Chain A
Amino acid sequence: MASRTDSELIHDFKKGEVSAFNELVRRYQQKVYWIARRLLGSHEDADDAVQDVFIKVHESLRGFRAESSFFTWLYRIAVNVSLNALRKRRVLSLFGSEEVPEVAADDDPVERISRDEYSAALQKAISRLPAKQKAVFVLRYYDEMPYAEISKILRTSVGGLKANYFHALKKLKTAVKKDLEE
């Protein structure tokens, strides 16, 4: 039997079929996880975010009117939840109750040691990108998403996104260079 489309699953969910939501989670859990992981750095933070995303989806899906595709809508929620988590981390760090990680923490010591100096500096630079630039960078570089699609997710013009992406890359180049010189 052919698998149901997103629209069919949403339709069935609205009619009360619980398994339709489960199917949507299984279909998109990895994509949502990797957006959150790349934006937040650690597995633990990404895990919290991915659960929050699907809980929001569950709560809002009945009101979803398909003005955009489910994929775009889901990505928008994933990016917003992750950026909110970054903001919370920043606010908490101002009160000394939480450290902002220097690098996007992937806390495997073996992996960390095996990284070369440049890659470590690069990872640190990525973790320090301003939130919006980081979101554009993750969607464009890692997901290779077209600007037109990112534009729908972040509600920003394509021109603005191109500038954001260019400046994010420039910032990474400069930050890595500076870090390696120190």
Chain B
Amino acid sequence: MNCQDVRYRLPEYARGQLTAEESETVRQHLEVCPTCAADLKELAELYSRLDTVAFRPPHESYWVNLLPRIRARLEKRSRRMVPRWIPRYALPLTAAAALVAVFVTVFSPRSPDATVGAPVGTYKVELRSMLNQMDSSDLSELEQQSSLIALADRKKENGSGADSYVIKSLIGDSKVLYSAFDVNVQSSIEGLEDTEMDAILDRLNQTTFFN
């Protein structure tokens, strides 16, 4: 078994969750590989610390009251069901429209003095309520769109730029956006040029949500 094979087995080895045979093979590798042995040592320390990270459990009465609260919500819902004729995409489209409104207000050439924060507050209550009714695919789409807006937002707010490599990646492939967003795109805002900003705006204009 080489290092690559051992790597993904170490988490289970450290917790004694491998079969006896697998465990013995890993053990033999660890005896001759100081790198994997060091990884195991770190992992064991992490596990011992993880065991100390505990959440305070809710009060016992919470479990007794939960079912009545669920039943009350079900009762309330059954009294105000959404009519079937409302298409399922109505909500994401409305949310998108709210985002467009924010976007246009902030970046409209007719209102160069508009402050960035002001229009956002106007829509946030409405946006929160719409988000609560959207499903995961709608949210993923919206998350991508809104992270682009946030980039543009920061540019406007700070007057200084972003990591051009990251931005170019975003413009080139929206799939990159999601993973880049996960490692916090907003921390990479240094050095964005106006031309790159324009490219982002073009990109937004081409997307489903903004057409």
Shortest distance from the beta carbon of A93 to any chain B beta carbon, whole Å: 9
Q: Is B90 an interface residue (CB 8 A)?
A: no
Q: Is B56 an interface residue (CB 8 A)?
A: yes
Q: Is B74 an interface residue (CB 8 A)?
A: yes
Name the segment of B27-35, B62-70, B107-115, B202-210 touching the other chain: B62-70
A166-B7, A166-B11, A173-B42 given; A54·B182 CB < 8 A: no
A130–B129 Cα distance when bound, in Å, is 24
Name the segment of B141-149, B166-174, B192-200 touching the other chain: B141-149
Residues 69-128 (chain A) with a chain B CB within 8 angstroms: 80, 83-84, 87-88, 90-92, 94-98, 104, 106, 108, 111, 115-116, 118-119, 122-123, 126
Q: Do A108 and B56 touch across chains, with their CB atoms under 8 A apart? A: yes
Report the interface size class on chain A.
35 or more
Contacts of B136 in A (CB 8 A): 80, 83-84, 87
Contacting residue for A122 out of B49, B69, B142, CB 8 A:
B49
A92-B127, A106-B55, A163-B8 given; A169·B63 CB < 8 A: no
What count of chain B residues pass the 8 Å CB interface test?
A: 48
Contacting residue for A55 out of B7, B74, B132, B149, CB 8 A:
B74
B residues neighboring A (CB under 8 Å): 7-8, 10-11, 17, 42-43, 46, 49-50, 52-53, 55-56, 58, 62-63, 66-67, 69-71, 73-74, 77, 102, 117, 120-121, 123-124, 127-128, 131-132, 135-136, 139-140, 142-143, 146-147, 149-150, 153, 182-183
A residues neighboring B (CB under 8 Å): 22, 25-26, 29-30, 33, 37-38, 43, 47, 50-51, 54-55, 58, 80, 83-84, 87-88, 90-92, 94-98, 104, 106, 108, 111, 115-116, 118-119, 122-123, 126, 130-131, 140-141, 144, 162-163, 165-166, 169, 172-173, 176
